[in-house]
A and B are shown apart, each in its own frame.
Chain A
Amino acid sequence: MTQETKYTFKDFASDQEVRWCPGCDDYVILRSMQKALPEIGVKKEDVVFISGIGCSSRFPYYMDTYGMHGIHGRAAAIASGVKLANPKLSVWVITGDGDSLAIGGNHFIHVLRRNINLNMILFNNEIYGLTKGQFSPTSLIGQKTKTSPYGNTQPPFQPGELAIGAQARFFARIGGNTPKEMTQLFIDAEKFQGTSLVEVLQNCPIFNDGCFKDITDKAVRADKQIHLEHGKPMLFGKERDKGLVLNGLKLEVVTIGENGITESDLLVHDAKEPDPTLHSMLIRLEYPLATGIIRAVEELTFEAREEALTKEVSANSKFKKVDDLFFSGETYEVK
């Protein structure tokens, strides 16, 4: 990249006034993205943000790149078209738990299955915000909302589990109040060749305030979260004295120094392991909550497969122009 295209985060801010509620984690996500893009080094004109409907989906309006605010649930499908039309673009899907896991569930699983090289940022606030407070597919059992005044009776999806079921190659999770780590995850997601899904645990201060506070608050974060890094032991805690081991078919929290446990007994995180079993267990784990890149297994992307096939077919084809096709085969002359 040349000097003149060295951007700062300001270059990615559009002239539109940001209209999210004060205190919303969406601001953190926006700023983290604006900081990640200069680091990634992609040209501004090559970046496209596609969103669906919901609070999160206003995001493209605030980025000074190409962008489209689509329709409810369809961002992944629109973005697939953008990427297939021009694979050189850096394509980002901005979506929420309602947008992607309810109305857009079909596109969510199929984009992951195909492994198109785009990045999806899933703003999970376990509620419908823009429609003012109905339960979403990630709302908890018992959660009281506008449409569950006596408590929600529909069991929630775990987005990462659903993603792995759909053959996701890249899944990461991060708290909505940790911009530095989030910025890094966005950079890693873009570098990954294939569909990258980043779930952000995003607090909605109006309709579901504090839903993640027991995990994400600064005071408890180190003890309640395990921030995974590929190749590093699964270690967490303020004192860095806790870790994870495998006990039978379950993950178990252990304390270093107790019962003769040393750091070398802990599991070492392997995000690149194709077998998703351990990744699924980490996704389901409630204490500590796993954040960071849980899974990153590179595989040929859909568009790379298509490109190779197109090259092969073109090389072997006798049709260079449509006239070659139209006048080929069984034609006859009328004289």
Chain B
Amino acid sequence: MATTIKNPQPGVLEAVVIRFVGDSGDGMQLTGMQFTDTSAMFGNDVATFPNYPAEIRAPQGSLYGVSGFQVHIGSIEISTPGEDLDLLVCMNPAALKTNLSALKAGHTIIIDTDSFTKKNLEKALYASNPLEDGSLNNYRVIEVAMTSLTKESLKELQGLDNKSITRSKNMFALGMVYWMYDRDMNHTLDFFEKKFQKKPLIAEANSKVLKTGYFFAETLELIPNSFSISPSKMPKGTYRIINGNQATAWGFLAAAEKSGLELFLGSYPITPASDILHELVKHKHFGVKAFQAEDEIAGVTSAIGASFAGDFAITTTSGPGLALKGEAIGLAMILELPLVIVNVQRGGPSTGLPTKTEQSDLLQAMYGRNGESPLIVIAASTPADCFDWAYEAARLTLEHMTPVLLLTDGYIANGSEPWKIKSIKDMPPITHKQISGGDSEKWNVYDRDAVTLAREWAIPGTKGFEHRVGGLEKDKTTGNVSYVPENHEYMTNIRAEKVERVQNSIPDLKSDFNEEGDLLIVGWGGTFGSLHSAAKQLNEEGYKVGHAHFHYINPFPKNTEAIFSKFKKIIVCELNNGQLVSLLRMNFTNIEFSQYNKMQGLPFGASELVQKFKTLIK
């Protein structure tokens, strides 16, 4: 990336990319998260990318059991977890083998040499020891007997078992990295105290190892000097580090409070969406009813029942779960009840790549139901903006009385970044259509608002408004079952028009960097950071490039075609085989679209994008 200074010499850096890699039981996620939090509190902008296997504890030392956590910190705007590593922290041979290619020549590797045993080398399919055969000559290798040093530092601590001792070696590594990047250890020391409140021995051991690593790095001659990254210039305010799933959950909490409705979540555990359920079950004090159902279908249907009874109801899932929920979402759609469906996308089809990211459910979101069944479809684009899009999903469904499908993905769901905390008082108002009583004589179930076409929401307990709704086609006014041909066509059209009219209550699409030019980079959802970085770099290099990112997909913003028409070329970039681009081609037949697609379970790298885009502009 252009914005990352690749200077291995000591000094002030604008941004640094660090990756911690080890066995799936080595605690790499925790290590990475601690480094992220500490850096954010120091005032850096941060972005993270956890990358771990689907197996909880894959066989030790195996290539497929490697778990990694990448973090990008900087004193400048950070919009992706970065590409080329400045530092690779490597806990075993398998981790080295699977991650070395991301490290540029001349950059640094910290290696736990204790793990480079004959057995581990064999498991990693190394014919010879890379520490000895010269294959790391192009890198700056810092060899540390981390496991032995950890054991040594804890030998005086009575009552610790061997397993707990070796498990804390990740803190040795973290301590070293803290010293290298001039981070304060206090945040992590406090974290141990809280997390292991009931196990003071473990807390003490981790603290001791962290400090040992820190002081080891300080005194070790192999590390010449400390690097430092100054705090970044972010807007003033109170911040916290948040990941996409937590932000999604909190967006719904905010929407429930703002709308005055109680939040009901019907859900079934599925990777990578479960963390939204994990978060919401904690908040009974806000009246949240988070119901773990027996399956995906019960997750959505219980939410439909709760919505019928007057709660603000949501259901959360990932691709395979969305497939199971399809029929029920169609029911919510024909009933015209509010409901938000969150799909945290993962690699598909079928079980696919549960822990990896992809954007391949867009067409399922659009069309994955029987009959004419349009939904409002929107997408979040960064970990922190999941908060805003969850809130917006709530506003749309409650104001328009039709289900909203919110797409996020594994990359932004698990990635974290600083979130400038929003107070509920600063959030836009949410009005809902519930009626508390009144003259029921003149009232009909499917009477509609003249502007939005939304019906009113009469809930059980409201005297005089008793009514029946159902999945059968209904009379356009009374809601009673109707098989009249003209009525069915009318209802089909009006349900579609209701979604189309959402165009009137959403903002315009905008193009960042340039409003006209040689190339418009188009994307949607979680690829925002990569596309933004690539566009920024090209503009810095003098190219006239714009970046338009879709958050509203059904309906598209009104000015979409106007934006497109200002650019000589348009490229639509997606982590799928071309789903948004098919929708665009269908809707904007006069415009020509190129496409760039990737299906590796990984996010775009800004440099691959820049390379591709340059071939289009020259």
Question: Any chain B CB within 8 A of the CB of A186?
Answer: no
Question: Any chain A CB within 8 A of the CB of B143?
Answer: no
Contact pattern, B 466-479, Cβ under 8 Å of A = 1, otherwise 0: 11111110000000
Question: Any chain A CB within 8 A of the CB of B465?
Answer: yes
When distances are taken between beta carbons in the complex, the residues of chain B under 8 Å from A322 are: 250, 253-254, 257, 286, 424
Question: Any chain A CB within 8 A of the CB of B336?
Answer: no
* Distance of B285 from chain A, by nearest CB (Å): 4
B309 adjacent to A89 (CB under 8 Å): yes
> Number of A residues whose C-beta is below 8 Å from B?
59
> Who on chain A is nearest to B294 by CB?
A110
The verdict on A78 contacting B287 (CB below 8 Å), with A45-B466, A323-B423, A331-B238 known, is: no
B240 adjacent to A331 (CB under 8 Å): yes
When distances are taken between beta carbons in the complex, the residues of chain A under 8 Å from B295 are: 106
When distances are taken between beta carbons in the complex, the residues of chain B under 8 Å from A335 are: 236
> Who on chain A is nearest to B480 by CB?
A16
When distances are taken between beta carbons in the complex, the residues of chain B under 8 Å from A65 are: 466
> Who on chain A is nearest to B460 by CB?
A66
Partner of A81, one of B303, B459, B471: B303
Partner of B421, one of A60, A71, A81, A331: A331
> Who on chain B is nearest to A43 by CB?
B463
When distances are taken between beta carbons in the complex, the residues of chain A under 8 Å from B454 are: none
When distances are taken between beta carbons in the complex, the residues of chain B under 8 Å from A213 are: none
- In whole angstroms, how far apart are the Cα atoms of A50 and B308 in the complex? 11
A107 adjacent to B460 (CB under 8 Å): no
When distances are taken between beta carbons in the complex, the residues of chain B under 8 Å from A66 are: 308, 460, 466-468
B309 adjacent to A85 (CB under 8 Å): yes
B470 adjacent to A107 (CB under 8 Å): no
B470 adjacent to A68 (CB under 8 Å): yes
A333 adjacent to B463 (CB under 8 Å): no
> Who on chain A is nearest to B311 by CB?
A85
Contact pattern, B 276-311, Cβ under 8 Å of A = 1, otherwise 0: 000000011111010101110110011111111111
Contact pattern, B 223-259, Cβ under 8 Å of A = 1, otherwise 0: 0000000010011111111000000001001100100
> Who on chain A is nearest to B305 by CB?
A81
B297 adjacent to A77 (CB under 8 Å): yes
A330 adjacent to B37 (CB under 8 Å): yes
* Distance of B276 from chain A, by nearest CB (Å): 15
A70 adjacent to B470 (CB under 8 Å): yes
A330 adjacent to B468 (CB under 8 Å): no
A50 adjacent to B305 (CB under 8 Å): yes
B285 adjacent to A314 (CB under 8 Å): yes
* Distance of A189 from chain B, by nearest CB (Å): 19
Question: Any chain B CB within 8 A of the CB of A150?
Answer: no
* Distance of B232 from chain A, by nearest CB (Å): 8
A60 adjacent to B468 (CB under 8 Å): yes
Which residues of chain A in 69-90 are interfacial with respect to chain B, using CB atoms and an 8 Å cutoff? 69-71, 74, 77-86, 88-89
Partner of B306, one of A71, A84, A334: A84
B238 adjacent to A327 (CB under 8 Å): yes
Question: Any chain A CB within 8 A of the CB of B379?
Answer: no
The verdict on A86 contacting B465 (CB below 8 Å), with A317-B285, A330-B240 known, is: no
Question: Any chain B CB within 8 A of the CB of A287?
Answer: no
Question: Any chain B CB within 8 A of the CB of A313?
Answer: yes
Question: Any chain B CB within 8 A of the CB of A286?
Answer: no
Partner of B239, one of A64, A107, A332: A332
Question: Any chain A CB within 8 A of the CB of B461?
Answer: yes
When distances are taken between beta carbons in the complex, the residues of chain B under 8 Å from A319 are: 283, 285-286
- In whole angstroms, how far apart are the Cα atoms of A79 and B302 in the complex? 7
Partner of B266, one of A61, A81, A314: A81
Partner of A45, one of B423, B461, B480: B461
* Distance of B79 from chain A, by nearest CB (Å): 17
B239 adjacent to A88 (CB under 8 Å): no
Which residues of chain B in 410-469 are interfacial with respect to chain A, using CB atoms and an 8 Å cutoff? 420-425, 459-469
- In whole angstroms, how far apart are the Cα atoms of A158 and B123 in the complex? 54
Question: Any chain A CB within 8 A of the CB of B93?
Answer: no
Partner of B41, one of A64, A320, A330: A330
B297 adjacent to A325 (CB under 8 Å): no
A84 adjacent to B328 (CB under 8 Å): no
The verdict on A71 contacting B471 (CB below 8 Å), with A314-B284, A330-B241 known, is: yes
* Distance of A8 from chain B, by nearest CB (Å): 16
When distances are taken between beta carbons in the complex, the residues of chain A under 8 Å from B286 are: 319, 322, 325
Question: Any chain B CB within 8 A of the CB of A205?
Answer: no
Which residues of chain B in 5-46 are interfacial with respect to chain A, using CB atoms and an 8 Å cutoff? 37, 40-41, 43
A80 adjacent to B460 (CB under 8 Å): no
* Distance of A83 from chain B, by nearest CB (Å): 8
- In whole angstroms, how far apart are the Cα atoms of A88 and B310 in the complex? 13
* Distance of B350 from chain A, by nearest CB (Å): 21
The verdict on A85 contacting B480 (CB below 8 Å), with A44-B466, A71-B471, A313-B285 known, is: no
> Who on chain A is nearest to B238 by CB?
A331
B287 adjacent to A310 (CB under 8 Å): yes
B264 adjacent to A85 (CB under 8 Å): yes
* Distance of A104 from chain B, by nearest CB (Å): 9
Question: Any chain A CB within 8 A of the CB of B561?
Answer: no
> Who on chain B is nearest to A50 by CB?
B305
Show 28 A/B contacts (Cβ-Cβ < 8 Å), sorted by A.
A14-B468, A16-B481, A45-B460, A45-B465, A48-B308, A48-B460, A63-B468, A66-B460, A71-B331, A77-B301, A78-B302, A80-B305, A82-B305, A84-B291, A84-B305, A85-B307, A85-B310, A86-B460, A89-B309, A107-B297, A309-B284, A319-B286, A326-B421, A326-B422, A330-B187, A332-B41, A332-B240, A334-B239
Chain A interface (Cβ within 8 Å of chain B)?
Answer: 14, 16, 43-50, 53, 60-61, 63-71, 74, 77-86, 88-89, 106-107, 110, 306, 309-310, 313-314, 317, 319-323, 325-327, 329-335
| Top-3 shortest CB links A-B | A81-B305, A69-B470, A81-B302
